Each structure stands twice: as structure tokens, then as C-alpha cells.
Amino acid sequence: MAQLADTLELVDIYVMGKHFRVPQGLTIQAALEYSGYNLIRGVGCRSGFCGACATVYCFQGDPQLRYALACQKAVEPDMYLTQIPFFPATSALYSMDDLKPVEGENTLLKLYSDMLTCFGCNNCTKSCPQDLEVMEFMSAAIRGDYEKVYESSFDCLMCGLCAARCPQGLRPYVMATAARRLRGAHLAPKSRHNLDRVREIQEGKFDADLDRLKNLSKDELRKLYDEREIEPAR
């Protein structure tokens, strides 16, 4: 490792206050592992899709806190950082049978009445590593515009950083999840293809094929998989 370090341009970083020198260009996640940390929590897909590696950082001499996903953000000189592998934001309890749009009522406000305390500081938007307009879909939720919440929050990774920044203790990401579920279950157009396939399954159209597959050996299944017409094995 020392020989490798001699050939690389190194930058100074501080993890929980402890000093390390790591190769320039590494992501925060890779830099933590280079520094000897065995990441068990706060690590998931490593590709910016799961939201598990929420990270808070600042720079030496600059107290402003910044927010990112550790698998996406590259280390910079004199970066002070720590991860938030889990943010303890509670979620309302509900069943999908109860989570239904009601004419003249805002179902989301019944679940998250504290949304009305939002005073538009926009800290949630500033903290989002996906650059989502979080305050925009919060406002839409207060209006009961489920479609707008769905559109604006679709790329939310559930990292929790918006809740970390909210001075009112609001949880935009869990509220948006409820809105997307409500929209998907009760307001989105139903897929005719999926409905037809469910009906065919219930009628037993595929029973014989499934029984045949269950009786194949592992090698026979592998051969069938490798020779399939769609998405051929590489």
C-alpha cells in the first residue's frame, strides 16, 4: 500500500476528526475503505441508487455543512466528513387499503399533519444529493396534489438528508413515499398487459410450463436460460 501511495497524488481528509492521506479522485466511500474502514452500514449499491451512504462534510476553516452520497462525491483537500448510515425519522403507520384519495380531503395531511408547519426555508432542497426540488413537492403535498408529488419526488433515494436539515423536524422523504404509493395504488392508469397476465395465471395458462420447469435438472435449466431468445446470455 505504501508503494502505491508513493505513485499517487494524495489529499488530506479527516474522518470523524482523524487525519488520513488518500489518493485524489477517490469517492468518499472508496477513501474510507482506503483508510482502513470496513464499511458494513452506510454502504449499498455503490452506484448512487440506494441512498444508504448519506454523508455530511465541511472543509478546514469553513464551517458550512455540505451533503452528498459517499459513493458519488469525490474527496477534496482538507475535507472533514462523517457518514449518516441511518437517519431516525419515524414514518406514519398505514395500510394500502386505508391509504385512499378522498374527495375534498387531503389524505397525506391526515398522516403527516405536521407538514403544515413548513415555513419554506428550502433547507430540504439545498441538502438533496439528487438536486430534487424537495420544498416544491412538500408544497404540492400540502395542496393535496399527489401527481405533482409523484413527479417531483420520483428520483428520491430515501437518504434522509432532507429530514436532517429541516428545522421543523419534518420528514419529506417518508411523506413523498406515501404519496407515490397512494398514486400508484389508486390514481395511476392500470396496465392492461399486467391485468391480462394476472388473469392468464389465475386461469392456469402457465401451469403445465411451470410443472415442466420444476422437473428439470440444474444443467437443463442453465441450458434453457443460456439459449433463451430475449436477453441472450453473454
pLDDT of residue 217: 95
Which residue from 51, 15, 40, 2 is spatially nearest to 155, judged by alpha carbons?
51
* CA distance linking residue 161 with residue 86, whole number of Å: 10
pTM of the model: 0.69
Q: Tell me the pLDDT tens digit for each residue of 34-92.
A: 999 888 877 888 887 888 888 899 999 998 989 899 999 999 999 999 887 777 778 88
What is the greatest pairwise CA distance in the chain?
Answer: 70
* CA distance linking residue 8 with residue 112, whole number of Å: 51
pLDDT of residue 77: 96
pLDDT of residue 75: 96
pLDDT of residue 165: 86
Domains and CATH numbers, the chain: 2-83 (3.10.20.30), 107-187 (1.10.1060.10), 192-226 (no CATH)
The low-confidence residues of the chain, meaning pLDDT below 50, are 233
